[in-house]
Amino acid sequence: MARFFKKRTENKGLPPGSLVFIGTHKVDEPTVEYLYYNEEFLSEAEYIQAESMPRTDPEKNQWYNITGLDKVVFMQEVEDRLRIHPLAMEDVMNTGQRAKFEEFDEFAFITLKMLRFDEKNLRVLSEQVSFILKETTLVTFQEEPGDTFNPIRERLRNSRGNIRRMGPDYLTYALLDSIVDNYIYLIESLGEKIDDLELQVLEDPDEEVLLKINTYKRELHFILKVVKPAKELINNLLRSETPYIRKGKVLPFYKDLADLITHAIESVEAYRVILTDYISIYHSNVSYKMNDIMKVLTIFSAIFIPLSFFAGVYGTNFDHLPELHYDFAYPVFWGVIVLIAGTMLFYFHRKGWF
């Protein structure tokens, strides 16, 4: 349950807007990646002290990407220098925050989860990403280095498409699009692993297969807990009247995000149904194998019942038994035993019982 909820004991009783980090320590020193750009120009810089970074400028297109959220003094300086509302900064530092879109007087606020898959442990890992969008400035917050944004950075550097010309609202769309695309890529990767289980479930189901099925069901459930609120976020954004996303030029791109997230949710639901079917098939195959085992044991028991009867009769301690002193009594006894067992096996085979 730790992936769904974060402990909130540290901010218990504190007033709204208090800067308290809720989450896991992931970065020793926070950094600020700063990009200033327009259609003809791009400048990049990196800062390790918040007071060193440039202030927002309404005449420039700026992107501040801040990595590392657990240093309260650093985040307080970021809040003051970039003029971010305390309630928004409080949500930024709460890494258990549900995906949402909110409107403030001076900016729009977006927060959601970025996902990646740990192949070694078969586990989906999440990282919270938050956006502060102003007219000419975008501020993003990440828990740790490494993300899905590198293709966007390359597009900025190479001035490909609309990204240098359209402004921070389009840049926000591009970053959100990369996160949603990664949702779909991750779901497809899990889907391939789930499809590979089909033959194992049908031909040789064992406890390891059942463990994998339950693992994938758990991870798909976690993905769904992340993706569903993201869809709600996009729908709220599309219904909003925020002035920080241009309706005619940029808002139609956000509508495409809603379609992609719907596709992601439908894919997760489809794979969850497949895994439920796999569990049913697994239990059916296990029951079928158990029935085969019980059938074989029953057949052998049925064969040995008359044999045990004969052995019991001729094993009693009486002097006057037929053929007791007959020279060929022992081989005759075994001949009768083999004949009875063979006859029963032949009869069972003719009936198709084995």
What does the pLDDT look like over 141-159, one tens digit per residue? Answer: 999 888 889 999 988 888 7
Contacts with 222 (C-beta within 8 Å, 6 or more apart), sequence order: 3, 4, 124, 126
69 torsion bin: left (phi>0), alpha (psi -120 to 50), beta (else): alpha
| pTM (predicted TM-score) | 0.80
Residue that is written with structure tokens 């379609």 in the block? 259
Please give the share of the chain, as a percent, with pLDDT higher than 70. Answer: 91
CATH architecture of 9-285: 2-Layer Sandwich (3.30)
* pLDDT reported for residue 170: 93
3-state SS class at 73: helix
* pLDDT at 1 (0 to 100): 44
Quick: pLDDT tens for 197-246: 888 888 777 888 889 999 999 999 999 999 999 999 999 999 998 999 98
The answer, yes or no, to whether residue 292 has pLDDT greater than 80, is no
**pLDDT higher than threshold 70 for residue 254:** yes
What residues contact residue 319 under an 8 Å CB cut-off, 6+ apart? none
Average pLDDT over residues 79-102: 92
Q: Which of 27, 85, 81 is nearest to 56 (CA)?
A: 81
> What is the side-by-side strand order in the sheet with 61-67?
42-47, 31-37, 61-67, 137-142, 123-133, 108-118, 100-103
Percent of the chain with pLDDT over 90: 45
Higher pLDDT, 101 or 333: 101
Based on C-alpha coordinates, what's the Rg of the chain?
Answer: 35
Question: How many residues are present in the chain?
Answer: 354
pLDDT at 12: 57
Spatial CA neighbour of 312 closest among 331, 332, 337? 337
- Output the pLDDT for position 286: 78
Q: What is the residue extent of each domain of the chain? A: 9-285, 299-350
Backbone angles phi, psi at 185, to 5 degrees: -60, -45
Side-chain-side CA neighbours of 281 within 13 Å: the count stands at: 17
- C-alpha distances in angstroms, 125 versus 77, 117, 190, 255? 29, 6, 13, 27
- The highest-confidence range among 9-18, 19-28, 36-45, 266-275, by mean pLDDT, is 266-275
Of 27, 108, 119, which is closest to residue 75 (Cα–Cα)? 27
CB-based contacts of 279: which residues, under 8 Å, 6+ apart?
210, 213
**C-alpha distance from residue 250 to each of 99, 180, 188, 266 (Å):** 21, 17, 28, 26
Q: Please report which residue ranges of the chain form alpha helices under DSSP H.
A: 72-82, 86-93, 150-158, 163-166, 168-203, 207-239, 251-314, 329-350
- Looking from the CA of 222 toward its CB, the CA atoms found within 13 Å total 24
Whether the pLDDT of residue 42 is over 70: the answer is yes
Would the pLDDT of 291 be above 80? no
